[in-house]
Structure 1
Amino acid sequence: MNGVATVGMRSRAHRRRGTVTAAALAVSLTASLTAGCTHHGRDDDRSPQHTPAPTAPSAPSAPSAPTPKPSDTAAGSPLAVKIDNVPAARPQTGLDAADVVYAEQVEGGLSRLMALYATRLPQAVGPVRSARESDLELLGQFHRPTLAFSGAQHKLLPLIDRAPLRPESPDQAPAAYYRGTAKAAPHNLFLRPAKLLPSAPGKAALTTGFSYGPAPSGGTPTATRTVRYPAARFTFTWSAGRHRWLLATDGTPTVTTDGAQVAPATVVVQYVKIRTSRYHDRLGNHTPYTETVGSGKAQVLRDGRSFDASWSRPGAADGTTFTAADGGRMDFADGQVWVVFAPAP
């Protein structure tokens, strides 16, 4: 991702295909949703179609060469992994290697992460958890991404299968997953990315519409910024020494299992509409739906400053672009980007 001027350009032919696919997906979503959809099995990641992966040691063995599906793998297709973010799931594995991390609100006001990998694949990522309806809209801005997830509500599974992505759950790729021993289920499912992708696809796979370059003029000096959900919070504190934003989750520094501090170069607080979907979990909590197509306000944190900005994503097949307050392009700093979806005021 370093040195990229703009990675959001696609060919017109690809946009036409993405637009048709996104439209078909929207029709499928509308036709398939029914009220009162519940989870099946012991928890939200264990539907009848998605059973737990077999137990294995905490540390994965050296991965063997993958056998990717020729029709499904494509150069420039990133890996997206749904990652658990409740206290029992921390510390996570491989989170610091992601190019982009999206933070979203889920049932009960808690948070969950979607990590995108393009420039490098860590040995392991996790804990892996279940997919949500709004993930399909979010991932529409990438070219046929591989989605690694533990399972989904049974009425959502057909929509995932029809979405313009490559779904890879433990049922579909059992050799890519293992159960660790350091955490209790369901917070112990981990992914070996090399079992799904032969290699990191490269920075061109980050077709988000983001652009990278020098900071615009202005901005407000900012030492810390907190984003709150009803039952979770993210705090980013500027480190001049590291030139990064040090992340704390629910008041505790966010580190990975190997001790690395999660420290993005750019943080985007993207204000979006978060509505109630027709799905709910086994306890009756309705699943929030985060709308990532449209436009709205944002704050971009980089280089120790906060910049007011606006975001725009006209359609599901389009990337998300950010504009500075002066109307110019809002460039991000080189390095990991965190996008935290916050309820629009």
Structure 2
Amino acid sequence: MYSFGTRRPGTASAVALALLISALAGCQGGGTTSSPSSPEPSTPAGSRAHVLAVKIDNVGPARPQTGLDKADIVYVEQVEAGLSRILAAYSSRLPPVVGPVRSARETDLELLRQFDRPTLAFSGAQAKLLPAIAAAPLDPLPPEKAPDAYFRDNDRAAPHNLYLRPGRTPHATTGVNAAEDIGLRFAAAVPGGRAVTGRTVRYPAARFTFTWSAGQRQWLVSMDGAPARTAEGARLGAADVVVQYVTVRPSAYQDRWGSTSPYTETVGSGSAVVLREGKEYDVRWSRPAAGSATALTTRDGERMTFAPGQVWFVFAQK
């Protein structure tokens, strides 16, 4: 992590990251787009949205998070020690503050290929991962690249106190919803589904429960058995939840304590469950290549539809 109040000398990882940023100055990249006539995009729509993705801390001392409720998409990933971390995608609106911001993982690089050269805000990365970040088709935005955009909250203990002010970054939102940009369609519900009151997803050392609230028309989020809240104290809720069953395997990278980082495979196909408006739907997910968007279809082959609002993707071990 990096402190801006004291300007402490950087670690070897920080030096490597600074070299990365310098190298990126000469890099160019782009994305692919899908045909607007395709019912299921084989590549991301990407030409419209400009996505700001922020890696957000999700252990107890990091809660409640700030600005998470304003994201278009919330991705939940497993990290070291069986814990979880969040990657939030912003495009239709930018909150004034987001955080706490934490370090990137290899999983993020493949996941973000669905968007057209997104901006990735993160606190740092394992030194050996830096070349992969440099080669990825995204714009990295660590504190060294935009020091005025980051600040430390002195009311919280490090490393759970680094925050981002999106308005002070080079990122400019287009107002297009990131979920629609990768092919999700907000429309009337498809036939079928089973009435449910909630669903729980467990990681080795983390737990997420989504409970349907007919009054609020949302799936209220609980983390590790406690109601999740916004920084203002309101309940955190999602319009839709996708529990996507994937392969989670060891990566080639380790954290600073020597723990192997998990890698979540988001390219391929498999089963998923979509929670929408008090029902759950069995669906199939398919993403044939890293440059493709994830397609979600019902067992009958129909394209899954979503209720307007924030969408959560929770990656669970199949």
State the TM-score, normalizing by the size of structure 1.
0.79
Distance in 2 of aligned mates of 1:72 and 1:318: 16
User: Which residue number corresponds to residue 239 of structure 1?
Assistant: 213
Q: 1:294 aligns with which of 255, 258, 268?
A: 268
How far the C-alpha of 1:308 sits from its partner, in A, is 0.3
Alpha-carbon distance in structure 2 between the residues aligned to 1:295 and 1:306: 19
Structure 1 match to 2:72: 99
State the SS of the aligned residue for 1:260.
coil
Cα contact 1:47–1:153 (8 A) shared by 2: no
* 2:15 equivalent in structure 1: 48
Mapped contact 2:126–2:256 kept (Cα < 8 A): no
Match of 2:182 in 1: 208
Q: CA deviation at 1:205?
A: 4.6
Q: 80-89 or 174-183: which moved more?
A: 174-183
Q: Tell me the equivalent position of 1:156.
A: 129
Shift of 1:198: 5.4
Deviation at 1:283? Answer: 2.1
Task: Tell me whether 257-266 or 110-119 shows the greater mean CA deviation.
Answer: 257-266
Contact 1:89 1:187 (8 Å CA) reproduced: yes
Contact 1:323 1:330 in 2 (8 A): yes
Name the structure 1 match of 2:3: none
Q: Is the 8 A contact 2:71 2:89 kept in 1?
A: yes
1:337 matched residue in structure 2: 311
> In 2 relative to 1, CA 229–204 (structure 1 residues): closer, same or farther, beyond 3 Å?
closer
Structure 1 residue 146 corresponds to structure 2 residue 115: no
Query: What is the identity, as a one-letter code, of the residue corresponding to 2:204?
Result: P
Listed as ranges, the gaps of 5+ residues in structure 1 are 1-39, 52-70
Larger strand proportion of the pair? 2
Q: Following the alignment from structure 1 to structure 2, what is the Cα–Cα distance between the partners of residues 249 and 208?
A: 27
Quick one: which amino acid aligns to residue 106 of structure 1? V
Task: Flag the 1:221–1:75 CA change in 2: closer, same or farther, 3 A.
Answer: closer
Q: How much has 1:209 moved relative to structure 2?
A: 2.5
2: CA distance, partners of 1:197 / 1:115? 18
The AA in structure 1 aligned to 2:229 is V
Secondary structure of the residue aligned to 2:53 is strand
Match of 1:230 among 195, 204, 216: 204
CA distance in 2, matches of 1:141, 1:232: 26
The alignment status of 1:181 with 2:154, answered yes or no, reads yes
Partner Cα separation in structure 1 for residue 283 and residue 67 of structure 2:
30
- 1:112 CA displacement: 0.1
- Deviation of 1:294 (Å): 0.6
Pair 1:324-2:298 in alignment: yes
| Equivalent-residue separation in structure 2 for 1:199 and 1:276 (angstroms) | 35
> C-alpha displacement at 1:196, in angstroms?
1.8
What letter matches 1:123 in structure 2?
Answer: P
The reply on whether 1:84 has 2:51 as its aligned counterpart is: no
1:172 to 142, 145, 158: 145
Q: CA RMSD in A?
A: 2.0
Q: After superposition, where does 1:242-281 map in structure 2 within 5 Å? A: 242-281=216-255
Give the Cα–Cα distance (whole angstroms) in 1 for the partners of residues 260 and 11 of structure 2: 17
Percent identity of paired positions between Structure 1 and Structure 2: 57
Residue-by-residue CA offset, 1:71-103 (whole Å, 9 max, x unaligned): 899862210000000001001000000000000
- Which residue pairs with 1:66 in the alignment? none
Partner of 2:36: none
Compared with structure 1, are the counterparts of its residues 105 and 168 closer, same or farther at alpha carbon in structure 2 (3 Å cutoff)? same
What amino acid is the match of 1:193? P
Equivalents in 2 of 1:318, 1:50: separation in Å?
28
Aligned partner of 1:15 in structure 2 is none
